[in-house]
Amino acid sequence: MNSVQPDADAADVGNRRILLVEDEATIAQVVHDYLVLAGFQVDVAGDGFSALHLARTHNPDLIILDRMLPGLDGVEVCRRIRRTQSMPIIMLTALGTEDDRILGFEMGADDYVTKPFSPRELVLRVKSVLRRSIKEFTPEPPVELAGFVLNPASRIVRYRNENLTLTAREFDLLAFFLRRPNQVFSRDVLIKAVWGWDFGDLSTVTVHVRRLREKIEANPTLPVLLKTVWGVGYRFDDGTEPASHD
């Protein structure tokens, strides 16, 4: 561990609190040390029930959550946390199948990392997610469009005078579309622009679009706002242009 050096840009995300949920002691210790050296406060839980307790009492800025845990698995932990809290969740999975990743996203995970992974790369992923989700990072101006009022500084979106409950990635995805109405974007473009990935599992975008529709559409199976342009990608219609039948 002596070879690990603190990152020069650790101050980018400040002294944020991370909850690391990992039952393998060796992995937990290595990741803990890398995160601490990067300037984070780190709490560690070794099982699902302890993770729920620490998430509730310590209110971390981000959670790193192992998929396979004793007592209560990571997917169920994620689902329960999402009932009341919206901090970013990065899921660690040794399974790596598309179905497993999709299940994690459907339960509310914002990102995933497949084992085995580089601890340094995990720290960079943590910083990337935090930069997108923490309000102090020079937010863009608010947006008012099609009944939506989006405030990047507070990470709050109101739609028809009601606050929406969104995960960090859902917020970022909706913000991206609201700033670019009536334009079509492929999944490749979205995964680069919203997730910051040069490559990745494009089903990530599909799942998040579906989850977002469930929160903003009167009928998610017949969307009138966030539409699919078959063979191309997705478009947010603000009602100012004639809508085609997608």
What pLDDT is recorded for position 139? 64
Q: What is the pLDDT of residues 61-70, one digit of tens each?
A: 999 999 999 8
Look at residue 97 and tell me whether its pLDDT is greater than 70. no
What pLDDT is recorded for position 240? 72
Give me the residue label for tokens 């909706």: 174
Look at residue 161 and tell me whether its pLDDT is greater than 50. yes
Alpha carbons 208 and 211: distance in angstroms, whole number = 5
What pLDDT is recorded for position 8? 40
Q: What is the pLDDT of residues 102-144, one digit of tens each?
A: 777 888 888 888 888 899 999 998 998 888 776 555 667 899 9
Look at residue 242 and tell me whether its pLDDT is greater than 70. no
Q: What is the pLDDT of residues 29-85, one digit of tens each?
A: 999 999 999 989 999 999 999 999 999 999 999 999 999 998 899 999 999 998 888
